[in-house]
Structure formats: structure tokens, C-alpha cells
Amino acid sequence: MLKFDPITLADWQSRHIGSISIEFIPSGCEGTSIAIHENMILPWYVTLPNSSDILTYTLPDSVLTLREAYITHTGKKWIMKSDSVLTRCGCGRSFGIATGDSKIDKIRLLKSKLAKSKGIIH
């Protein structure tokens, strides 16, 4: 079940945020980040079960990736921890999502490790 850090939940509750939508956006050195929109529901989004009383929505193809994730807010960035995360940038904001194809995932993981060891941003 999707979980959020307690400080973020307390902030949303104090501001009477009733719903959020989560989307994956192309961003950062690892290629993917999350964006969270407060009190915005789009008609093609689906409900995502979570551990809070905040209604949570996402695109249908994001449900599996977010199902067991933990999302926290640090400064101006959202950080997602999940078994679906294969690679992560140095600051933690952007990540690469596992494809499920072991060969592709292994190549992506090796490419990320090599780039980090050489100080290359890809």
C-alpha cells in the first residue's frame, strides 16, 4: 500500500487537502521523477489505495509502480522509495524504473553505475 511520510500528511491535513494526484514525469539524470498535484483530479486517473485519508489518484499504468511505494518530501523535491526503483540519481529525486526484463534492467543498472563512477551525468 502506498505510504507518505508523516510530516507531509500532517501538512496536507492542516491545509485541508482532500486529494492528490501523482504522475511520473521525464526529469533528472535518471530519467523519471514524480510530481504531486494537490486537489486536482483528472477524469482518466484512477484511485490508488494508500495508508492515509487523502484520496490519491494516478494514471492506470502507474498503479503497479506506486502500489508499495513510500513518498517523502525533502525541500523542494519529492522522493519515492520502492522496489520498482532500479537506479537513482545522486540527490535522490530522479530514478529509473525497472522494466521487468532482466537483460534490459541489468544493462541500465550497469550504465548508471558506470556513469556515476566516472562522474558523468546521463
Q: Is residue 122 part of a domain?
A: no
* Parent domain of 108: 3-117
Give residue-wise pLDDT tens across range 55-75. 999 999 999 899 889 999 888
- How much is the CA Rg of the chain, to the nearest whole Å? 15
Q: Is residue 7 part of a domain?
A: yes
Q: How many distinct structural domains can be found in the chain?
A: 1
Q: Is residue 57 part of a domain?
A: yes
- CATH code of 81's domain: 2.60.300.12
Q: Is residue 72 part of a domain?
A: yes
Q: Is residue 89 part of a domain?
A: yes
Which is it for the CA torsion 11, 13, 17, 20, positive or negative? positive
Is residue 23 a contact partner of residue 71, using CB atoms and an 8 Å limit?
Answer: no
Q: What is the pTM of this model?
A: 0.80
Is residue 3 a contact partner of residue 39, using CB atoms and an 8 Å limit?
Answer: no
Mean pLDDT of the chain: 86
Q: Which pLDDT tens digits describe the chain residue by residue (122 residues)? A: 999 999 999 999 999 999 999 999 998 888 899 999 999 878 889 999 888 889 999 999 999 899 889 999 888 889 999 888 888 887 778 888 887 788 877 887 787 777 767 665 54
